[in-house]
Structure 1
Amino acid sequence: MLTDTKLDRLGTADELNAAVALHCRALRQSRGWSLDELAGRSGVSKGMLVQIEAARTNPSVGTLARVADAFGVTVSRLLEPAQDRTVHLSDAEEAPVLWRGGRGGTARLLRGLSEPDFVELWDWRLAPHEEHVSDDHQPGTREVLHILSGVLIVTVGTEEYTVGPGQTIDYLADRDHSYRNDFDTPTRFLMLVCMPPREYDRRVRPPLPR
């Protein structure tokens, strides 16, 4: 069984929750949106948004992605204050773990950029026989996966692809997709997510292939 996804970063979940609360509230108010409006655009319930803005919950990675899509920002924008900087150097251990699987797998958000386009870099690890089913992202989102070790089964819509060490796969992620390790050894892969730099309202989503 998968346990989707509590914010976790070296014991500083409270700091991350506070950052998400601050940015979510500021981004919503700067747009003049009510909580009902954000709930409609993101597909996240008003009750959950109230909890997020009060820093009283650990939102899942799926919830964060939906909120970020609605605002037209990256997930990392919700986790840390915007800073003007030429260079940003950090250790992998400093990056937040935004997903934990029931068998020990993790997904760590290494970095996110908001300019010139929205890009996120993730370090994923799936334990043997572990799976993550992802929400569909906003139209035009593309993911690039590079397998470092193990074998990964990637499902996009109704098609499955087996990707081995040293191989790279990219695909449109604005439809149903998942990552699965069917084998007895762990799988580790890097993921690059490239998103259109715009706000996204799920209520007016165009139909897409499943």
Structure 2
Amino acid sequence: MASHIWDSIPNAGHDLDGRLARRLAELRQQRGWSLDELSGQSGISRSTLSRLERAEISPTTAVLSQLCAAYGRTASQILAEIEDNPPQVLHPDQQPTWRDDEAGFVRRSVSPPQPGLRGELVECTLRPGADIAYAVTPVPGLEQHIWVLEGTLELTLDGHTHTLGTGDCLRFRLWGPSRFRCPTGDPARYALVVVLP
């Protein structure tokens, strides 16, 4: 079973998981969708959706991506929407970190969570051999900048593969599927800047 851990404030993981579960349920209810309708929209089983909304399980990277696409939001938007009284400055020990140990992915939200703002900065790390494919983009035309801080990142967009080394930066708009892979024996750590259209 995958481990999905929030690492920011001690004992915050459970609270954040609970708030995320409530927010996912709210988003579905705002659209007037049943669990079966959301299952059809997202490709996620009804039972998994029910367990997510009851905070019995945490979403994997792939599941969160599918939900983001169904709701037309980025992961950071959804995560910002669950923050209580978002601060203007986040110190390193306050930056929420989400782990999907099964996928080999760590995501640190560097930007303070401010709903309504269009840009955000995220630090991501893929362990050696990690290979994550996203079937859809949560928001078509999403502008992204990927700056590799350490290691090698292989990124496939629209069937074209870019191999990025330390210091390389790729800028693009995301319209379809994407795949992130760490092809070497060392982790790939990169900064991701996301700008909503």
**Please, what TM-score do these two structures have when normalized by structure 1?**
0.74
- Which residue matches 1:63? 63
Identical-pair percentage: 25
How far apart are 1:154 and its partner, in Å? 1.6
- Which residue matches 2:47? 47
Q: C-alpha separation between the residues in 1 aligned to 2:32 and 2:153? A: 43
Which 10-residue stretch deviates more, 55-64 or 184-193?
184-193
Distance 1:68 1:127, change over 3 A: closer
- Which residue matches 1:180? 181
What do residues 109-144 of structure 1 show as CA deviations (whole Å, max 9, x unaligned)?
Answer: 334554243x44321123334333333214222322
Structure 2, unaligned stretches of length 5 or more?
none
Alignment of 1:1-210 (within 5 A): 6-9=4-7, 12-79=12-79, 80-81=81-82, 88-94=88-94, 95-100=96-101, 106-111=106-111, 112-117=113-118, 119-138=119-138, 139-196=140-197
What do residues 27-72 of structure 1 show as CA deviations (whole Å, max 9, x unaligned)?
Answer: 2223322222222222222211111111111111222232233233
Q: C-alpha separation between the residues in 2 aligned to 1:17 and 1:84? A: 17
Q: C-alpha separation between the residues in 2 aligned to 1:96 and 1:147? A: 18
Q: C-alpha separation between the residues in 2 aligned to 1:81 and 1:129? A: 32
What do residues 47-103 of structure 1 show as CA deviations (whole Å, max 9, x unaligned)?
Answer: 111111111111112222322332333323443535676x5211334312243366x
What do residues 150-188 of structure 1 show as CA deviations (whole Å, max 9, x unaligned)?
Answer: 222222232221212222102333323222222333321
Name the SS of the counterpart of 2:6 in structure 1. Answer: coil
Count of residue pairs brought into register by the alignment = 191
Q: C-alpha separation between the residues in 1 aligned to 2:130 and 2:38? A: 33
Distance 1:159 1:145, change over 3 A: same
**Please, what TM-score do these two structures have when normalized by structure 2?**
0.78
CA RMSD in angstroms, aligned pairs only: 2.8
- Which residue matches 1:201? none
Distance 1:16 1:135, change over 3 A: farther
Name the SS of the counterpart of 1:33 in structure 2. Answer: coil
Structure 1, unaligned stretches of length 5 or more?
197-210
